[in-house]
Structure 1
């Protein structure tokens, strides 16, 4: 065990340190937040389910309030098949007769105990050491029968009628994790088979949870982020539930692939994550910069200034000129910026300080930002847009600019031209 090859390397420590520093803003932001996390029966049966339990324990230790909802469809189907009980569905809903309800009760009960057991694990030298998670369940979901659809009686299949939000909040406030099975209870004492998705959506809506997270089927066919208006263009079993939650006030819904080990932590503690984010509004916004953006803009500009692409600007100058800037913001971080400096007497403006974070280049943001600033210039009545560059001439040529002369610049700009930089002048007619 003393072999140097088995000891952590400096690179390993550097990577770990960098990850923690990058995750720190999200650790602070999520503290005290309420997350509803639903995972299907396939996730429970997966080989890496223990890893998910470990990750949930980490969230719990970071003072994140957790409501877990689990599914059991494949386990119930397997038990029905073993006992010779027919499995029937109508419009995606299980037809739950007396025999299959008894099987569902037994299967769900066994799964709940198994999950509670895993959450109780705490041996030393394991990811669960000293976790001490208090897990509670109970009659927190009131259900009603789904009834007869298209002449088909769904039997003991139900719908969510009410969520005991006060009871759940009391448990969360006490530091307990709430575990909800895919069952509900009626006012007459009946038991109904419910979908985990419907329970999770109802709980997240009722609690106005900070996040609703579905862990299940692969989301490879989905983009990284979509708004609820865009979901109609895609097909995924959890999209309808996500849209319902967003419309009801849940700000962000995440879809994660159960096969991606560590997807939950990567999604929550990195800027881009590994899943699909559904929100009522765009995850990334473009807006007028304000004084609080100066630090973020400086971070974008400094590497380009050091390489000679841009002229160095001090914080004081940026603060004075912040009204000229437009920024792209992604999850609270400035990822792109550009500025327009007007020359009204020439019916023109200069495009300057265009910078894209190195993590987000080659994804069309430069073109998008240019289009936005061109629209701003046109709205202000400026017919010509100038830009001075030393290293990005081809990009501007590709986007409609034409080579121009220093003498074509507004006189005020000519007086400030830096001949040592020898920047190339480009011009684009907008009007």
Structure 2
């Protein structure tokens, strides 16, 4: 790997490392990851997350293992509405299969060979009766018998183990107050646990690459409301398993989980790429929009400085000092993505002339040509209208066509408000463009 690329990538991950320390993540993976051995590679990344101070709750599935155990016993599995009907005989197969799957996960998390990513990790993995279950009961005339659902999560007990830097491993089995075992879907366990703990993230590792729209394009982020609309309108090209994950994500967001990630388990390092890079890898479903367009505050000044500095050095923007930005912070609007300022603009009103100047329009290089400049322009125009202004103008040296393409007309220096004329920099020779607000 190129040394410069490594250094840059490592530095770019540092804000996420700082932010995630002390947070709780719930990570759910199916029995397929155990059956094909990919759990051993996933364990490397789990150990790294633990070393970074992230509290981890792992929820494993055991579908293939249960199917194999039932086949060995000559039992026929039956599903209704995607749920397994668990008879008393099937429950015996379930407990044995889940136990074997759990031991395989514990073995993977206990790796520690010298020279491997797990060397020196020393993960402490704990489990227990953290889930109280109840029978799913009879639905539409179908008795699901020993198939259950989560009734309660032992939050305080889980928090004690997490505070002790232990990794909690949950299996898809719950116990009722009467001591009866129930087969519970791993997804439901993950959602209930993440909601009860108020986890910052719930992560599903799955076969698909994420959520795709009807055209087959991967969607990087969705709000829970948008996910609901997609499912309602059938506006997705996703298989049924991904739809189930979407439904689980929606339930988790409604239960207080801030962000749910759907990522492909077959991609090496998928977990790290999703968490520690700007673009991620799969699909993020969140309570609120992933990107926020809002008025700036003083706290945003460092982020604005970092964003505009390269453009100032290239002569595209007029250089602004930190002191000036602090004085003018209330004039700025910013677009924030995952805690990072990725775009900004300033709006300076001239109410006596019924005009406003939009200045310092900047978009991070990684996010250009995706419509964010137009979003900033629309937002600033809305602010100008709220102030009863009729026109907006800009001064630019290198983006004239961008404004012409968006309905601006070229004007003259004399058309500017007199206070702005007096501040005009003759050396820059900026061109002036106007647009009426409709």
Task: Say whether the fold is shared (TM-score over 0.5).
Answer: yes
On the 8 A contact 2:39/2:105 being kept in 1, the answer is no
Q: How far apart, CA to CA, are the structure 2 residues paired with 1:363 and 1:237?
A: 30
On the 8 A contact 2:146/2:182 being kept in 1, the answer is yes
Q: How far apart, CA to CA, are the structure 1 residues paired with 2:266 and 2:372?
A: 31
Per-residue CA distance 1:344-372 (angstroms, 9 max, x = gap): 12110111100000011011100011000
**C-alpha displacement of 1:78:** 3.0
| Matched ranges for 1:391-410 at <5 A | 391-410=398-417
Q: Which residue of 2 aligns with 1:178?
A: 168
Q: Which residue of 1 aligns with 2:239?
A: none
1:229 is paired with a residue whose SS is: helix
**C-alpha displacement of 1:220:** 4.6
Q: How far apart, CA to CA, are the structure 1 residues paired with 2:325 and 2:129?
A: 58
Per-residue CA distance 1:91-136 (angstroms, 9 max, x = gap): 1110111232121111111111111111111111111111111111
Q: Which residue of 1 aligns with 2:224?
A: 228
Q: Which residue of 2 aligns with 1:12?
A: 2
Q: Which residue of 2 aligns with 1:96?
A: 86
Per-residue CA distance 1:271-312 (angstroms, 9 max, x = gap): 221122222111111111112211211222221122221111
Q: Which residue of 2 aligns with 1:382?
A: 389
Which of residues 32, 46, 52 is equivalent to 1:42? 32
2:5 is paired with a residue whose SS is: helix
CA 1:324 to 1:372, structure 2 compared with 1: closer, same or farther past 3 Å? same
Q: How far apart, CA to CA, are the structure 1 residues paired with 2:299 and 2:149?
A: 47
Q: How far apart, CA to CA, are the structure 2 residues paired with 1:285 and 1:368?
A: 11
1:201 is paired with a residue whose SS is: helix
* Unpaired runs of at least 5, structure 2: 213-217, 237-242
**C-alpha displacement of 1:75:** 2.2
Q: Which residue of 2 aligns with 1:212?
A: 202
Which deviates more, 27-36 or 347-356?
A: 27-36
On the 8 A contact 2:112/2:121 being kept in 1, the answer is yes
2:241 pairs with 1:245 = no
- TM-score when normalising by structure 2: 0.93
Q: Which residue of 2 aligns with 1:5?
A: none
Q: How far apart, CA to CA, are the structure 2 residues paired with 1:321 and 1:117?
A: 57
2:313 pairs with 1:303 = no
Q: Which residue of 2 aligns with 1:113?
A: 103
Q: Which residue of 1 aligns with 2:428?
A: 421
Q: Which residue of 2 aligns with 1:86?
A: 76
Per-residue CA distance 1:211-270 (angstroms, 9 max, x = gap): 111111311515211111101214522112211121121111111111221111112222
**C-alpha displacement of 1:84:** 2.9
**C-alpha displacement of 1:37:** 0.9
On the 8 A contact 1:42/1:216 being kept in 2, the answer is no
Q: How far apart, CA to CA, are the structure 1 residues paired with 2:21 and 2:317?
A: 39
Runs of 4+ in 1 over 4 A off after TM superposition: none
Per-residue CA distance 1:301-355 (angstroms, 9 max, x = gap): 2211222211112222222222211111111111100011111121101111000
| Matched ranges for 1:26-425 at <5 A | 26-218=16-208, 219-221=210-212, 222-232=218-228, 233-234=230-231, 236-425=243-432
On the 8 A contact 1:48/1:261 being kept in 2, the answer is no
Q: How far apart, CA to CA, are the structure 2 residues paired with 1:17 and 1:392?
A: 33
Which deviates more, 154-163 or 418-427?
A: 418-427
- TM-score when normalising by structure 1: 0.94
1:337 is paired with a residue whose SS is: strand
On the 8 A contact 1:300/1:335 being kept in 2, the answer is yes
On the 8 A contact 1:147/1:155 being kept in 2, the answer is yes
* Unpaired runs of at least 5, structure 1: 1-10
On the 8 A contact 2:394/2:432 being kept in 1, the answer is yes
On the 8 A contact 1:286/1:329 being kept in 2, the answer is yes
On the 8 A contact 2:28/2:60 being kept in 1, the answer is yes
Q: Which residue of 1 aligns with 2:215?
A: none
2:77 is paired with a residue whose SS is: coil
Q: How far apart, CA to CA, are the structure 1 residues paired with 2:159 and 2:330?
A: 44
2:244 is paired with a residue whose SS is: coil
CA 1:408 to 1:46, structure 2 compared with 1: closer, same or farther past 3 Å? farther
1:237 is paired with a residue whose SS is: helix
**C-alpha displacement of 1:80:** 2.5
**C-alpha displacement of 1:82:** 4.2
Superposition RMSD in Å: 1.5
On the 8 A contact 1:342/1:348 being kept in 2, the answer is yes
On the 8 A contact 2:136/2:147 being kept in 1, the answer is yes
Q: How far apart, CA to CA, are the structure 1 residues paired with 2:304 and 2:52?
A: 31
